[in-house]
Chain A
Amino acid sequence: MNELIQHLVNALILGGTYALLGIGLTLIFGIMNVVNFTHGALYTVGAYVMYLAVAALGLNFFLALPVAILGGLLLGAAIELVLLRPFRGSDIDTTMLVMIGAGIILQSGTLWTFGGVAKAIPSPFPEAPLQIGLVSVSWLRLFVLGAALTLIALTYALINRTKLGLAMRAAFQDSDTAALMGVDVRRIYTATFALGSSLAAAAGALLGPVYVVFPQMGGLAELKAFAIVILGGLGNVTGAAIGGFILALAEEFGAGYVSSGYRDAMGFLIIIAVLLYRPTGLFAKAERIG
């Protein structure tokens, strides 16, 4: 029973960052119709900015987090302006390949700059975990969950309560109509990509101190983000948030009760199961005929 609760708590904490990752990716797909293959690299960059700020520059841990998020925001905006804007109007496969190229450059650039040795980010939290009954949670992980939930709430507020969010929702519905109604779609795209990127960087900056930081950490994170987004339906923000928690649950219980080696396979097994049993339920839009 205690083991079960411990797994649930772990899943909840992991699910928060997974949801962040998934929301960032699904926003970019839903609004821009771009499958973002730099998402994992941006996650890595977030973690490395955090590492640089805390370990190398000696910045306060809580100040370093917004710096890492800002770093992701700026890098995302730059990627959109330099690489995606010139390819606007290309088909989805082309932009996907451009993003693969950009992802390779970012990942290899990180490897080149920082080397392949994993780095640890020192955390200001006490080593001793918080003990509630027989369930124990480290303070750092609790902070990670709190920060992730705060960021998710902020993203929701941005989408639903601001003028920018309104324009983003309009572009999501139909970018042509949005443009006719006076929305500057180009600016919305840049903002969307920057926002999605900052969420990926935030996830990296939050999980970096929990685990270790290394240049290839983004690869698996990216694949997981894809799984989450498919679970929730491409372009569905709430779906991605829920998908993040479902994936975390599946991983925790898969690792706990089946085999820890296959922990990272859970997401893909879920995708395959979803496609086997509800392939049509996943379609966001019906196929166009004629």
Chain B
Amino acid sequence: MNRLFPLALLAGLVVLPLGLGTNPYLLNALIVTGILTIGAMSLNLLLGFTGQLSLGHIAFFGIGAYVSALTSLGFDVDLGFGLRAVHEPWPAWGGFLLATVAAGGCGYLIGRLSFRVRGAYFVIVTISFAEVVRLVALNWVELTQGPLALTNIPAITLGLPGLGIWTLKTKLQNYYLVLTVGTLCYGVIARLVGGRFGRAMRGLKENESLALSVGINATRTLTVAAVISAAMAGAAGSLYAHYLRIIDPDVFLFATTVTMVIMVVAGGKGTLMGPVVGGLIFGLLPVALRPVMAPEAQWIVYGLVLIVILFVMPRGIVPGLSALLSRRQARPAPVLEVNPAVQR
């Protein structure tokens, strides 16, 4: 994939609604796909670039959604011990900012806690965290309405001095909002990954001992990655809350993390475009499958596709296709024997 591909894709996404007209069903699918793709990009920062498989990523997304919703709806909660927490409604963009910060803060705490352990332990800690957060959302009824859901969440309002104020109520407006945030996140990740911080992450992923020996601080690097990743997921969750205008504890479903993981792995973990390509494919696949099969059957297809991709293109679609393209352009490079002692 060369440098032009991301720009071409962006241009295509900008003009896409013109071609679609105002088909609300497709536009809705694109918006939800875009939000999940932002989640997938943020997950890729951890899973792809640092090699830490976080299966609790949905927690940050859901925290973003709830924080944003509660900030813009306001609440009045009895904390016990005679303490009350009362919050007057803020404008929705304030909720968006606070959601990003709060999710980033949770990323910091989880990072500090769980980067003491790696591998399978890390995976299970992150899942556990997501499950605890889901149970809190389900049971703290006074704050979250529990299974009854938070409703009437206001749409995001944008104001520019001198130009007026828009409330982003239509699908088309939300589409461009999601596209803007997604592009920003892509740019931030590209900048981070391309520089010194990205090299530190790659070093830790490829050979942790060696990375430590050249002075890379593992805990700090991984924690910073977790904070940025969580903040982006929180931003995506906030967009989700203000678009759907209703949030219930099902936002924390493990299945959504799995969807993001499939997007990243299928697209190509550790590549910039991988989660975008994977996100578009797996976000829109339900649209293609809906007329032909039941939702349960769709999930069966998802599972099969995940396994087949791991088998056929273990590095994902984007690296797989790049390799194919460059092989067609250049003569095949000689396959070099790798000393077995060097492999881990």
Q: What is A's interface to B at a CB cutoff of 8 Å?
A: 29, 35, 83, 86-87, 90, 92-94, 96-98, 100-105, 107-109, 111-112, 219, 223, 226-227, 229-230, 234, 259, 261-262, 264-265, 267-269, 271-272, 275-276, 279-280, 282-283, 289-290
Contact = CB atoms under 8 A, between A and B. Distances in A.
B306 to A, nearest CB: 4
Contact of B300 (A97, A112, A223): A112
B125 A271 contact: yes
Given A261-B135, A261-B139, A289-B209, A226 B304 contact: no
B261 interface: yes
A83 B307 contact: yes
Interface of B: 51, 53, 113-114, 116-117, 119-121, 123-125, 127-129, 131-132, 135-136, 138-139, 209, 254-255, 258, 261, 265, 294, 296-297, 299-300, 302-304, 306-307, 310-311, 314
A96 B53 contact: yes
B319 to A, nearest CB: 15
Contact of B265 (A97, A227, A265): A97
28 contacts: A29-B120, A86-B311, A87-B310, A93-B51, A94-B310, A94-B314, A96-B123, A98-B306, A100-B261, A101-B302, A101-B306, A101-B310, A104-B255, A104-B299, A104-B300, A105-B299, A109-B300, A112-B300, A230-B124, A261-B135, A262-B139, A269-B132, A272-B113, A272-B132, A275-B116, A275-B117, A275-B121, A280-B116
Contacts, number: 117
A105 B314 contact: no
A97 B310 contact: yes
A227 B132 CA distance: 12
B22 to A, nearest CB: 33
Contacts of B121: 230, 234, 275, 282
Given A103-B303, A265-B132, A269-B132, 18 more contacts: A87-B310, A94-B310, A96-B53, A96-B120, A97-B306, A101-B304, A102-B303, A104-B303, A104-B306, A105-B300, A105-B304, A107-B299, A108-B296, A230-B121, A230-B124, A234-B121, A265-B131, A275-B125
Contacts of A282: 117, 121
Contacts of A230: 121, 124
Contacts of A227: 124, 128
A267 B302 CA distance: 30
Given A109-B300, A112-B296, A290-B209, A234 B125 contact: no
A271 B128 contact: yes
Q: Helix, strand, loop or mixed for chain A's interface?
A: helix
Contacts of A111: 296
A104 B304 CA distance: 9
B278 to A, nearest CB: 13
A11 to B, nearest CB: 20
A234 B124 CA distance: 11
A264 B303 contact: no
B258 A108 contact: no
* Max chain B Cβ within 10 angstroms of own Cβ: one of A267, A275, A280: A275
A251 B293 CA distance: 40
A215 to B, nearest CB: 9
A188 to B, nearest CB: 20
Nearest to B308: A101
B82 to A, nearest CB: 20
Contacts of A87: 310-311
Contact of A268 (B114, B128, B265): B128
B201 to A, nearest CB: 16
B138 A112 contact: no
A267 B121 CA distance: 14
Contacts of B311: 86-87
Contacts of B307: 83, 98, 101-102
B209 A100 contact: no
B99 to A, nearest CB: 23
A250 B98 CA distance: 35
Contacts of B310: 87, 94, 97-98, 101
Contacts of B120: 29, 35, 92, 96, 234
Contact of A104 (B123, B135, B139, B258): B258
A114 to B, nearest CB: 10
A261 B53 contact: no
A44 to B, nearest CB: 14
B258 A226 contact: no
Given A93-B53, A259-B139, A276 B303 contact: no
B128 A223 contact: yes
- A-B residue pairs, 6 tightest by C-beta: A261-B139, A268-B128, A104-B303, A108-B299, A101-B306, A105-B303
A52 B120 CA distance: 35
A105 B294 CA distance: 14
Contact of A275 (B113, B127, B265): B113
Contact of A226 (B113, B128, B306): B128
Contact of A261 (B138, B258, B299, B303): B138
Contacts of A35: 120, 123-124
B119 to A, nearest CB: 6
A134 B215 CA distance: 65
Contacts of A264: 131, 135
A171 to B, nearest CB: 18
A279 B294 CA distance: 45
A290 B128 CA distance: 32
A113 B314 CA distance: 31
